[in-house]
């Protein structure tokens, strides 16, 4: 089959959403929305048992279905240093759950024609042009591994950044050559300005040829820098204007103001498994850069309020098209749903209907299995069901 050069956003937008804060969502008994009070009570028991075991100091659990809150509990303590009880409006550090928001902002710019998925990243960040790749080579006799730098066979693209196939990495990569280079040049996401971050990345080699391998990485941080270049605004301002304000997420930002600092949830000072000291971001201080891969702070109510309004919301999924005989096959990989059509337009219409039917019919466990990741469940928020 010949793959058609078309990857686009599939919008399951047949139903409008009422996007309100979690506090204003109506409540319901679990059975009224197809859930089980008994099973949710078991959830509470499990969370309490983990708190008692010392796995974490506290947690906030919220389950909404069909636009109604069926479960909302604050358990344990918000701060083990003070034993202040956990509250439903506690503010948590999102860390890598920042990434989906930055990806959504990027796709908004794609929809507006201001970015193309196939654009080389160097179009927006010229310093990331002509990068080198660190290639490991093992001595056939001694087995000793050395690293050789070769030219990148092609440039990383916006699509590569979105799917973590850019060749970039994190400082905890298993690629020793890149790990050492990152340590030498202090390649990081925290405590550096946007310009410093890109300057340092430009000096370090890639861990893979762009487009050839997936590795969790600083790709979304670089994506944030692209968004800033295209919009001419700091990333935090873009997210506030385009996502957080429209979705009524007032507690989601890159810094927690003084008036909300008392609501910040903190972990134990040492990891209960490894025993290592937990190093936290000081979320009350303005960061040197709005880190697209790890910098946001948020409370649980904002997430569920943004995606769990009455009726259905819009999920931004991916459609991949392939030539199939005289027609086309359209696949939505996140939920493993496919359809066919004589034209791309027909295949898209059929796929949208198939995805909508899936969300209508599937129970939450099936949705979770299809999406294969808590990341999707939380951020694409299959409160669509």
Active site residue 96: yes
Strands (E), 48-151: 58-65, 68-79, 84-85, 92-93, 132-138, 145-151
Distance CA 4, CA 320 (A): 8
| Nearest Cα to Cα of residue 125 among 206, 209, 193, 199 | 199
Query: How many Å is the Cα radius of gyration of the chain?
Result: 22
DSSP 205: P
DSSP 187: -
**3-class secondary-structure state, position 84:** strand
Task: Measure CA 270 to chain center.
Answer: 26
Cα dihedral 265→270→274→278 (10° resolution): 60
Distance CA 54, CA 204 (A): 40
Out of 18, 36, 37, 96, the active site residue is 96
Distance CA 294, CA 188 (A): 11
Cα dihedral 302→308→309→314 (10° resolution): 110
Q: Which residues does residue 125 pair with via DSSP β-bridges, in sequence order?
A: none
Length of the chain: 385
**What six digits make up the tokens of 292?**
């697209």
| Nearest Cα to Cα of residue 379 among 303, 268, 310 | 303
Distance CA 132, CA 153 (A): 9
Do the beta carbons of residue 288 and residue 314 sit within 8 Å?
no
Cβ neighbours for 242, distance < 8 A, ≥ 6 positions apart: 105, 108
**What angle do helix axes 99-111 and 219-231 make, rounded to 10 degrees?**
40
Active site (catalytic) residues? 96
């Amino acid at each position: 089959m010949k793959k058609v050069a078309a990857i686009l956003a599939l919008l399951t937008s047949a139903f409008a959403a009422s996007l309100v804060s979690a506090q204003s969502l109506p409540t319901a008994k679990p059975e009224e929305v197809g859930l089980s009070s008994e099973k949710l009570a078991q959830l509470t028991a499990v969370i309490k048992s983990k708190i008692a075991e010392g796995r974490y100091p506290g947690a906030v659990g919220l389950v909404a279905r069909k636009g109604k809150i069926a479960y909302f509990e604050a358990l344990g303590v918000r701060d083990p240093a003070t034993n202040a009880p956990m509250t439903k409006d506690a503010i948590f550090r999102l860390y890598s759950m920042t990434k989906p928001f930055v990806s959504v902002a990027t796709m908004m710019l794609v929809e507006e024609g201001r970015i193309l998925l196939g654009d080389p990243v160097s179009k927006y960040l010229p310093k990331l042009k002509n990068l080198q790749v660190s290639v490991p080579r093992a001595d056939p006799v001694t087995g000793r591994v050395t690293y050789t730098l070769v030219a990148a066979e092609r440039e990383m693209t916006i699509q590569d950044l979105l799917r973590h196939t850019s060749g970039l990495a994190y400082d905890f990569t298993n690629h020793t050559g890149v790990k050492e280079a990152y340590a030498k040049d202090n390649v990081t996401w925290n405590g550096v300005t946007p310009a410093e971050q890109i300057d340092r990345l430009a000096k370090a080699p890639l861990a893979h040829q762009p487009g050839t391998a997936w590795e969790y990485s600083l790709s979304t941080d670089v994506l944030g820098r692209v968004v800033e270049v295209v919009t001419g605004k700091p990333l935090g301002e873009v997210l506030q204007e385009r996502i957080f304000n429209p979705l009524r997420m007032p507690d989601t930002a890159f810094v927690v103001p003084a008036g909300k600092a008392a609501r910040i949830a903190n972990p134990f000072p040492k990891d209960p498994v490894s025993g290592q000291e937990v190093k936290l971001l000081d979320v009350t201080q303005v960061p040197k850069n709005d880190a697209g891969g790890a910098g946001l702070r948020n409370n649980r109510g904002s997430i569920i309020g943004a995606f769990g309004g009455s009726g259905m919301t819009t999920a931004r999924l991916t459609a991949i098209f392939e030539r199939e005989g005289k027609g086309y096959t359209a696949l939505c990989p996140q939920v493993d749903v496919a359809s066919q059509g004589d034209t791309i337009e027909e295949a898209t219409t059929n796929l949208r209907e198939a995805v909508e039917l899936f969300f209508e019919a599937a129970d939450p466990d099936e949705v979770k299995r299809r999406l294969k990741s808590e990341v999707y469940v939380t951020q694409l928020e299959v409160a669509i069901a």
